[in-house]
Amino acid sequence: MRNILLLLFIFICSNSLFAKETYKRTLLLMGSRFDITLIANDSVQASKYIDIAINEISRIESLISSWDSNSETSLINENAGIKPVPVSKELMDLIERCITLSRLTDGAFDITFASMDKIWYFDGSMTRLPSQKDIDAAIQKIAYQDMLINKENNTIFLKKKGMKIGFGGIGKGYAADMAKKKLIDEGVTAGIINASGDLCTWGKQKNGQDWKVAITNPLNKAKAFALIPVVNGAVVTSGSYEKFVQFNGKRYSHIIDPRTGYPSQGIISVTVFAPQAELADALATSIFVMGIEVGINRINQLKKVECIIIDELGKVHTSDNIDISSYE
């Protein structure tokens, strides 16, 4: 009995000595708020791991930033219509996945949409609607089909002068995924990375429960439709209710249809659940453009992907294999 009690004492002491805690840091990265939360033995270890995640996110930003003149993305844009640009395998792979997503969404997702960066502004500076002439001119430069990939030479070429690529619709999700992978490789057993609504998780909370995300009612932010567990996966919520302009009594959101050059209509919030934040990020924006019926149909064809859509009247629509009533 004495030996059993001694072993039990040692077990309790060792568990308390190495008891894990939850640590969180909030900071500005990629021009957005990032919340990095993880489970670690102590604050020193947690700080080290969070720094590793920050460095990885910063590395991704330097790769895909269109504001950094030295980034591979900027070099591709500067040489549009001039010559192919050598790129790293990482950027080549990311662009290839973007093209796959463009095909999947019938062009609702298109990284050459960056060619319209000077048409619509949602920072309070717009005083009138853009002219149809300006919109039409910008649309002529939006075409993922005009990105030429040469895998043999590892080059990307934009065929038309003035074309641009940008990763605003997928970049934060990709960065969150890569930071998660980095931390898992470092031995971090559980965490959650929230890149301004692009969220990915792994492991479980300190109390052994799954990480959970609240699906907020955009018409009443104090109320949530449901609290849904996210198990080693990602969830991204995009909304059209915060960034918009209004002219002649009509609201124009910041989510633009790259095929028409005009803001999408009819949907105010989309939440997508997927294995990776990169995929969820791209699909959440695409559903706004595709619309409720087409968007849900597309999601229903994808394995391990679900969505929740809230229309402008506050009605909730979901893909086939998710039932939010069970989480209310």
* Amino acid 33: pLDDT: 94
- What is the pLDDT, as a whole number, of residue 11? 37
- Averaged pLDDT, 180-194: 97
**pLDDT value at residue 119:** 87
| Residue 142 reports pLDDT greater than 70 | yes
Phi, psi (rounded to 5 degrees) for 87: -135, 165
pLDDT confidence of residue 90: 96
Q: So where are the chain's domains? A: 23-64+170-327, 72-107+133-158
- Rounded to the nearest integer, the mean pLDDT of the chain is 89
Gap between the Cα atoms of 137 and 159, Å rounded:
15
Q: Percentage of residues in the chain with pLDDT exceeding 70?
A: 92
* Sequence-distant (≥ 6) Cβ neighbours of residue 103 within 8 angstroms: none
Pick the range with the lowest mean pLDDT from 6-15, 27-36, 158-167, 212-221: 6-15
Q: How high is the pLDDT of residue 231?
A: 92
More confident residue, 325 or 17: 325
Decide: 251 and 262 in contact? Cβ < 8 Å: no
Q: What is the mean pLDDT of the segment spanning 288-314? A: 94
Distance CA 73, CA 298 (A): 29
CA-derived radius of gyration, the chain: 22
DSSP line for 260-275: TSSB--SEEEEEEEES
pLDDT greater than 50 at residue 14: no
Provide the pLDDT for residue 124: 79
Cβ atoms of 5 and 191 closer than 8 Å: no
Of 291, 287, 289, 282, nearest in space to 258 by CA: 289
Average pLDDT over residues 313-327: 84
Tell me, what's the pLDDT at 294? 96
The larger pLDDT score, comparing residue 115 to residue 44, is at 44
pLDDT confidence band for 5 (50 / 70 / 90):
very low
How does pLDDT run across 196-229, given as a tens digit for each residue?
A: 989 999 999 999 999 998 887 777 766 777 788 9
Exposure of 77 by Cβ count < 10 A (0-12 exposed, 13-18 middle, 19+ buried)? buried
Cross-strand pairs, 253 = 244
Q: How confident is the model at residue 6 (pLDDT cuts 50, 70, 90)?
A: very low
What's phi and psi for 109, nearest 5 deg?
-110, 125
Residue 241 pLDDT grade (very low, low, confident, very high; cuts 50, 70, 90): confident
CATH of domain 23-64+170-327: 3.10.520.10
